[in-house]
Structure 1
């Protein structure tokens, strides 16, 4: 059963493709969601109105957005105006989800635990 079938998720990343981006995509797609990868074109120097307009557009197009490689303050500004869940690097090794996956034990491969934790986060936020 694809619990996120028909859902559209965004992946805003300012870095070349890496394991964290692949993890987010595989976790979401395994649940049936579609993931669009895009460059943000925003920075901390972006005009507040530009950030607001971009955030609102993201909120119209996607059910949730994962941000990777963006300044946390910029992610916060996007989150304030998007009206949808905005994740700040939930699939990265620096995020608490990685530590939680490590705590799940050795019965399952860490990569699978990371995917399961990320899927639980997505389901809780948007299903």
Structure 2
């Protein structure tokens, strides 16, 4: 359906708005089926390799449960379990795994690795997170927004914090492709790369949305979504002290929420959260926080990706 059979899921750059919308619709249907206790068989007989260079809670659990729910077998491969990129090249590992598995998930550092896995394996490859992109998270975010806001097109989405990380990059793509106005609020040194912004502005022109990159926290006014992420991504722990100093004015707290002036807004976070830094306990635990709906939706949207590309 929509040209998704056999397709890898490496970045949302590779997907049209129609394909993304189809995945969101399918995720909603699969979520309803699970809520009704209906056991699925759409992935029966499939074997999925789960490669993890980086630790994970939501991504690992979401892929595992999604596989089992629809009859597939997930095989976890930690960084010490295989020779990927060490004693064996990525290309050779990909060609071996492609003969043994029906699909491969990769969560690690390099986008080049997940791209090469897709290039050489001959099976669908899913990006569970790299330093550049986190596309499965964005699908969960979009589904959560649809559930709470009713629609996507024309909504105002504000990401505040480290704007040049994998979440900032991926949210720019997802929002602009789906007609969501996106504002990234960050100190200028942490703005997304100019070339990436220009590409996403092109998507925005097609969908009728807008892109704003600013240092001003006043830009939260009228937001339908306030979104933040950790100030130090995995592998950047040595920069924690300077990041905290730089990003302290961008903390999501009750004073910032008051500037939004939208009683129907929601707060989102991809988790894990470092409460007291990028977000306060009060906001995280508030009635408008939907972070655990968002976390659950990782599984439903990942299941949709696998069903659409494998069944």
**TM-score of the aligned structures, taking structure 2 as reference length:** 0.36
Q: Is residue 97 of structure 1 aligned with residue 139 of structure 2?
A: yes
Displaced runs of 4+ in structure 1, greater than 6 A? none
Once the two structures are superposed, the pairs formed by residues 39-78 of structure 1 within 5 Å of their partners are 39=78, 40-43=82-85, 50-78=89-117
Residues 64 and 85, structure 1, Cα contact 8 Å, conserved in 2:
yes
The whole-number CA distance in structure 2 between the counterparts of 1:29 and 1:104 is 26
Once the two structures are superposed, the pairs formed by residues 11-30 of structure 1 within 5 Å of their partners are 11-30=50-69
Q: Is residue 122 of structure 1 aligned with residue 164 of structure 2?
A: no
- Secondary structure at the counterpart of residue 74 of structure 2: strand
The whole-number CA distance in structure 1 between the counterparts of 2:306 and 2:52 is 18
Per-residue CA deviation, residues 105-126 of structure 1 (Å, 9 max, x unaligned), is: 139x434433222111111111
Unaligned runs of 5+ in 1: none
- Which residue matches 2:42? 3
Residues 100 and 117, structure 1, Cα contact 8 Å, conserved in 2:
no
Larger RCO (alpha carbons 8 Å, 6+ apart)? 1
- Which residue matches 2:294? 110
